[in-house]
A = this chain, B = another copy of it.
Amino acid sequence: MKIAVLGTGSVGPAVAAAFSGLGHDVVIGTRDPQATLARTGPGATGGPAFSQWHASHPQIGVVTLAEAAAAGDVVVNATNGTASLEALAAAGAENLAGKIVIDIANPLDFSKGFPPALNPVNDDSLGEQIQRAFPEAKVVKTLNTMTNSVMVDPMHVAGGDHTVFVSGNDAGAKGEVTQLLKALGHTDVLDLGDITTARGAEMILPLWLRIWGALGTGEFNFKVAR
């Protein structure tokens, strides 16, 4: 499958590498590919510089947001949640139409420090905003409730015995995303319902951040015990 991953922070490269490792044809989209490839400083969360990461993943093309979205059968939004609508607009509505858009971003606003606020919250969500802005895309919210190392390698936390949520209006799209999640190693994929249920999945982030603070690590995940 041709998968376009938008975003070059800590999440995008992790997800791109994982899908590439599963045999998919992956490109990464970024606003300015030359600038991204020239980055030599450490990543946002202490990972390798993008240029260093790319040297070890040369099979993953680095192109503009629009080129990536045009190339992908599936488009993954791994951009900063507060800039996702802008990034997806740059990717182009025509390049998203009819495609599955997997939204794994969180609209966390750190402008007032820690803890960040969610915006939107409560009666709207980023997932819904994206679906409204790109009505011809099939938006599926997922994976946003865990850190990127757990997204792509769920088995290393509690033997993989935890839950990933999917929210979206299109049952077929959720089915395809569920298959991708299972290929990554996720065993408990829980369909919450339509895209409005993304509110719940996004609103777990304040708790996630406090658990991260209490445990001193992001290497955990929520399990719906039942």
* Interface residues in chain A, defined as those with a beta carbon under 8 Å from any beta carbon in chain B: 115, 117-118, 121-123, 157-158, 161-162, 165, 190-193, 196-197, 199-201, 203-204, 206-211, 213-215, 217, 219-226
Contacts and interface: CB of A to CB of B under 8 A. Distances in A.
Contacts of A200: 206-211
A151 B220 CA distance: 23
A191 B216 CA distance: 12
Number of copies of this protein chain within its complex: 2
Contact of A191 (B208, B214, B217): B214
Contact of A193 (B161, B196, B197, B214): B214
Contact of A206 (B203, B220, B223): B203
B222 A222 contact: yes
Contacts of A165: 207
B210 A193 contact: yes
A192 B219 contact: no
